[in-house]
A = this chain, B = another copy of it.
Amino acid sequence: MRLLFLGDVVGRPGRQVVLDHLPRLREAWTLDFVVVNGENAAGGFGITEAIHDDLVEAGADVVTLGNHSFDQREALVFIERAPRLIRPANYPAGTPGRGAALVEARGGERVLVVNMMGRAFMDPMDDPFAAIDRELEAGPLGLVADAVIVDFHAETTSEKQAFGHWCDGRASLVIGTHTHVPTSDHRILPGGTAFMTDVGMCGCYDGVIGMDKEEPLRRFTRKIGSSRFEPAMGEGTLSGLAVETDGAGQAIKIAPVRIGGSLQPALPDFW
């Protein structure tokens, strides 16, 4: 299967670059399954139903979230009727929405997508290592799912790499989100799981993690904020990862995708 994962969509520049390119990529690369992290799609904070619908219409099979899941409070409601929208699985029991979705790909394959949040330097959620075990036992790769994609939304490289190793052989892809900067350590782990510490964001890189740089700089240097954070409004870069899996759901090819904006462009050479 041909999988594409796109990182945290930040504000209008992020949405724009996804809406501009995803429909075309879907077709050009005959993608089987697309996951988009949408936790910052609405002005940098959370997601609205309208934006969610736009992302799905543009080609996202599943939209994942993170620590900003419910910044837009309407998400607490519409997530219940949005089968393609998931939030981290290790939120407390009773949290609206689900942390995993088993969704049918275009060709009929079943893809399990799990969203999970790390705990190092983040608001402490329940143990992501124990939680992913439960999810992967409920939807084992090769039995229940033809591919398994895990969005691990976490701050530190150490927790993300540990998480990748922990899942190795049980997922097709473990991909980090949240730092809004793509790493260049994409690789296939020994057990067959594609891994990348962070996929980066879809948004304007001429800022501070996608936000206009003035207010972050003010807070770092003066320790007193003076306004809200607003998305940086320059041209967005689409940042993602392309993974091809075999019949067993193991990753066999992997390549970063970067289109537009200010980062060095990258495209898979195998599609």
Contact = CB atoms under 8 A, between A and B. Distances in A.
B200 A184 contact: yes
Contacts of A129: 220-221
A224 B123 CA distance: 11
Interface string A246-271: 00000000001010001110100000
A129 B218 CA distance: 11
B165 A70 contact: no
Interface in A126-174: 126-127, 129-130, 155-159, 161-163, 165-166
Contacts of A15: none
Contact of A155 (B123, B156, B266): B156
Contacts of A205: 185, 187
Contacts of A107: none
Contacts of A266: 184
A161 B208 contact: yes
Copies of this chain, count: 4
A162 B216 contact: yes
Contacts of A185: 181-182, 200, 205, 263
Interface of A: 70, 73, 76, 91-95, 119-121, 123-127, 129-130, 155-159, 161-163, 165-166, 179-187, 190, 197-198, 200, 205-209, 213, 216-217, 220-224, 226, 256, 258, 262-264, 266
Contacts of A91: 223-224
B95 A222 contact: yes
B187 A184 contact: no
B92 A187 contact: no
A233 B264 CA distance: 32
Contacts of A156: 155, 179
A93 B221 contact: no
A242 B183 CA distance: 17
Given A161-B209, A162-B213, A208-B165, A95 B223 contact: yes
A119 B124 contact: yes
25 contacts: A73-B226, A76-B224, A92-B221, A92-B222, A93-B130, A95-B222, A95-B224, A121-B155, A124-B125, A127-B221, A129-B220, A130-B221, A155-B155, A155-B156, A161-B181, A161-B207, A163-B220, A165-B208, A165-B217, A181-B198, A183-B183, A184-B184, A184-B266, A185-B205, A190-B206
